[in-house]
Amino acid sequence: MRWLCCALPPVAMLLLLLSLSASPGTSSPVNPCCYFPCQHKGVCVRVGTEGYECDCTRTGYFGTNCTSPEFWMRLRDALKPSPAFYHFILTHFRWFWNIINNTFIRDTLMRLVLTVRANLVPSPPTYNSDYGYISWEAYANVSYFTRVLPPVPSDCPTPMGTKGPLQLPDAELVAEEFFLRRTFRPDPQGTNLMFAFFAQHFTHQFFKTSGKMGHGFTRALGHGVDLGHLYGDNLERQHQLRLFRDGKLKYQMVKGEMYPPTVLEAPVHMIYPKHIPPEEQLAVGQEVFGLLPGLMMYATIWLREHNRVCDLLKEEHPTWDDEQLFQTTRLILIGETIKIVIEDYVQHLSGYYLQLKFDPELLFGAQFQYRNRIAVEFNQLYHWHPLMPDSFKIQSEEYNYDQFVYNTTMLKDYGVEALVEAFSKQRAGQIGGVPNIHKKILRVAIGVIEESRLLRLQSFNEYRKRFGMKPYRSFQELTGEEEQAARLEELYGDVDAVEFYPGLLVEKSNPSSIFGESMVEIGAPFSLKGLLGNPICSPEYWKPSTFGGATGFELVNTASLQKLVCLNVKRCPYVAFRVPDDNGEEASAEPSGGSSSSGKKGPSTEL
């Protein structure tokens, strides 16, 4: 017992002694791993009934709790800048970055960003919702979401291990206190609804919790960018959506423009209220996309893009059959998606003046695994419902939630161009640092908290440590103010007991940013690993022949949000992920010299 006493901090040791002496002869010793003694990614293994060992293998640290750095790790820690420092450098000095973006240094920095971020996500996966230790099931059973940190042991004194209350505060109370919007807070970066709906439509291809199987399971077995939201997540659904002619998907023409077919024409399961007749229910790959016109707008744009690319491939390869045209087009659209996500979507989200670049060849000389697994922490983190406004403005009309949700006629009544322009010009909400979730969708956040408790996610501070950040020492340091900090302390008692998702939303935001440090530092590794871990980015796939030759490869390498929209509508509207300024340009333009959307209007034939 003596070595355990030395290993644990004084407060933890006191709790342990109290628990051991509370009911002599009847109570079981506290699992020492409940104190999370192993630092720097060390793995805690319980030994006997009262002991533990920390496996420090390849962490760069040694000692009982993996706290003593090896020489090179000590040197690295001394020289490594904080996340706040390099965020400041990357979001300031535009003139400097405009020079860097036109030199070879850009590629070097991009390679460094990709390797450092991706290495923070374990590959192959280590844990899942059922296994808090490495097992074959956690690796091989892709029906599970994986997870980065093991669950809090089930035999711990408190839900967060040993810190905090014996019973966590009511999830509804937490949501109402810290998430519920009192006044709409627009995102200071100028993020718009075009971005908000892109985020939702894009992530719905790999965030598909399987309620029938239980928490921690997914129906999106592709675990990444497979465009299941366009083609369906199984072969039967895909076949119902395909035209089986020239590689194309089924469609209907309305006023001379292409839209998804109805469920009468493509009999797939879609989630609509019972009062909506089948002839008004549009059929797409994701069954929930009828919920919001913004989601169905993106589904329509990608449907048009798929069939447009099929025509291009058919002209270039007249001998190809329907299957080869379909499969090759799917690969091209996957490539276009990744290109847009990195160079338009992530570029905007980061606020960096370093121009991000999608170039899989940057990683060909590095050790990298081209397989991805979606983690439950990534699923939890990506609930960005504060983006949604109080109402939705389309041209001269304003729609509340009851009028907007399941509005099956808006898309065809206004047309894609009008919705794109309206959503590009309406500002979205700030995600972190302020209570900003509309009351109509607060129940989703409550469900996230409840799910995290069922899965026994470790505390927010434990995740900060896992992703290379210092844990917060006080509630005031976490929130950057006093009133909310005092209420958090009243409910949680200890800053080390704050839960993962609440911590992400209450954390003070970076200056002029949409959210705080942790959302960036934890979310970015999952995102970049998932994008660059796609098989099309591997040396075996990343070549022109994979995409049908030079023409298809060029489509991937020149893709942008603006081209995606403007090549599939009659009139090119204002399209960007930022609201325009008074001159009709993006409020904060992206770094010059790349393929990012400028937001300028122009004839689609020139793109």
The answer to whether 294 touches 200, Cβ cutoff 8 Å, is yes
**Residue 532: how many CB atoms within 10 A of its CB?**
23
Q: What are phi and psi of 464, to 5 degrees?
A: -60, -45
Torsion of CA 427, 84, 100, 189, to 10 degrees: 10
Which tokens hold the place of 461? 């501070």
Distances (CA, A) of 294 to 144, 388, 397, 564: 29, 11, 16, 15
84 phi/psi in degrees, rounded to 5:
-65, -35
Among candidate residues 40, 201, 204, 383, the one labeled active-site is 204
How far apart (Å, rounded) are the C-alpha atoms in residues 237 and 212?
19
How far CA 560 is from CA of 136, 255, 555, 597, in Å, comes to 40, 27, 10, 6
DSSP-based three-state secondary structure for 522: helix
- Rounded-to-integer distance, Cα 339 and Cα 348, Å: 13
- The one catalytic residue in 382, 463, 472, 492 is 382
Q: Where are the alpha helices (DSSP H) in 101-144?
A: 105-118, 136-140
Name which of 196, 601, 253 is nearest 412 in CA terms: 253
Q: 23: helix, coil or strand?
A: coil
Determine whether 385 is an active site residue: no
CB 405 within 8 A of CB 291: yes
CA distance linking residue 70 with residue 234, whole number of Å: 49
Q: Is 40 one of the catalytic residues?
A: no
Closest Cα to residue 268, out of 298, 289, 253, 247? Answer: 289
CB atoms within 10 A of CB 322: 16
Find the angle CA(288)-CA(242)-CA(548) to the nearest 5 degrees: 110
The span from the CA of 509 to the CA of 519, in Å, is: 9
CA–CA dist 536, 226 (Å, integer): 10
Name the H helices within 190-342.
193-203, 228-231, 235-241, 293-316, 322-340
Chain centroid to Cα 41, Å, comes to 23
Angle at 124 between CA 121 and CA 126, to 5 degrees: 75
- Quick one: residue 292, left, alpha or beta (phi over 0 = left, psi -120 to 50 = alpha)? beta
Q: Which of 473, 392, 479, 491 has its CA nearest to residue 434?
A: 479
Nearest CA-CA partner of 456 in 128, 35, 105: 128
| DSSP string for residues in 152-193 | PPTT-SBTTBSSS-SSPPPHHHHHHHHTB-SS--B-TT-BBH
What are the residue numbers of the active site? 204, 382
